[in-house]
Structure 1
């Protein structure tokens, strides 16, 4: 869930106290948001699409208290490392915010953030309730600073910002493109291990085939040598018998 600090100033620690920015919420919260960033980052990197992604990065809108959603996405910007997202310096605001709710007050994520993020013009906002394994999404009404709920289609929520489908599955938030799930790091590793195993098995099978072919060629060569030897012996015997008739 989002963390809030004071108004901007010269001292970043005064703006956004460390105690506010890093409230511990356990491994489940950390894993969910870091997995989201990793999966999306890997996907957009493969596409060559410029999307900046960050977890709990301080976000600074002019005249607003600084806050830090669990995950933010900003499209069409350079995805280099940043200490904060300052709207006045970057020239644009956040396109998508996602909060992972694990414990505590739900009203902050499901009510107050809905009003605030809409007012700031954040195009889409999603809340993944990890405890209840539920997903909610909102999108700005065109021309207004107000959200309209995103209605799921067969359990999936479409994100215009990401051009992906979101769905809760396997007790985690999953992302889909064209009906195929975007793999996380563990799944990519498992897939590569399977490919390596299949390649090693294929190499071993090919090696066995080469050994067998070499054995068959050696046996065929030996049979030809034996046949040629027996023929030579027969011819020599025939010649000897012919010589004995004189």
Structure 2
């Protein structure tokens, strides 16, 4: 479970924003659910705060077994804190690296140990003494190649922006606010049309009173 309300809110908003963004594609977004990665070994599991898996049927699961689905998560987010720091940048980082998770993002909403709050890693092939290996390297400019999004710290949350058009992916509260604004604008437009039609009818009536046919 999330440590604080801020951590929980960051998890839920990240989940919903990415779920809506990927709606209609062969992908799923899961949060705080077990990822099983070794068949026959039920203890080989981890529960990422948010994970994005491509190439699978959309929708929720009770848990995720990578060997049954045929895919490992492509992107994982951990909403981190001082209490989970060692695990998030230690065991989990090495595990996700080993599993082949392409991008790993750490978000520290309280800024307890990541001064900039957001830190990303991308899997890259590097040369070592024993040959090429895949290792996590820091992500520059907070750009997610796999998601095609730019990530930005916005208070206690991550803001997500499309790389193709710069459009922000709205969180649920922003969506609700935008809907309210749209509803007000539509109502104002309807009222303006009603008044215009009323004025036109009044003018037509005056013209008729003067013996002028407004339809001619």
Fold in common (TM above 0.5):
yes
1:117 equivalent in alignment to 2:106: no
Aligned residue number for residue 140 of structure 1: 123
Q: CA deviation at 1:171?
A: 3.0
Aligned residue number for residue 184 of structure 1: 171
- Structure 1 unaligned spans of 5+: 1-22, 226-246
Distance 1:79 1:194 in 2: 31
Distance 2:60 2:84 in 1: 31
1:94 equivalent in alignment to 2:73: yes
Distance 2:12 2:106 in 1: 15
Give the TM-score taking structure 1 as reference length. Answer: 0.75
Evaluate the alpha carbon distance shift between residue 40 and residue 105 of structure 1 in structure 2; reply closer, same or farther with a 3 A threshold: closer
Distance 2:152 2:175 in 1: 19
Q: How many residues align?
A: 197
1:158 equivalent in alignment to 2:143: yes
Evaluate the alpha carbon distance shift between residue 183 and residue 106 of structure 1 in structure 2; reply closer, same or farther with a 3 A threshold: same
Q: CA deviation at 1:93?
A: 1.4
Distance 2:10 2:2 in 1: 14
Q: CA deviation at 1:84?
A: 1.1
Distance 1:102 1:50 in 2: 32
- Which secondary structure does the structure 1 equivalent of 2:90 belong to? helix
- Aligned positions of 1:211-222 closer than 5 A: 211-222=198-209
Which is richer in strand? 2
Which is richer in helix? 1
Aligned residue number for residue 81 of structure 1: 60
Q: Deviations over 1:126-147 (max 9, x none)?
A: 0001111611111111362311
CA contact (8 A) 2:80 2:108 kept: yes
- Which secondary structure does the structure 1 equivalent of 2:211 belong to? helix
Question: Which of 27, 30, 35 is matched with 1:59 structurally?
Answer: 35
Q: CA deviation at 1:24?
A: 4.7
- Give the aligned CA root-mean-square deviation in angstroms: 1.8
4+ residue stretches of structure 1 with deviation over 6 A?
A: none
Q: CA deviation at 1:151?
A: 1.6
Q: CA deviation at 1:103?
A: 4.5
Larger Rg: 1
Q: Deviations over 1:59-91 (max 9, x none)?
A: 111157211010001012111221111112111
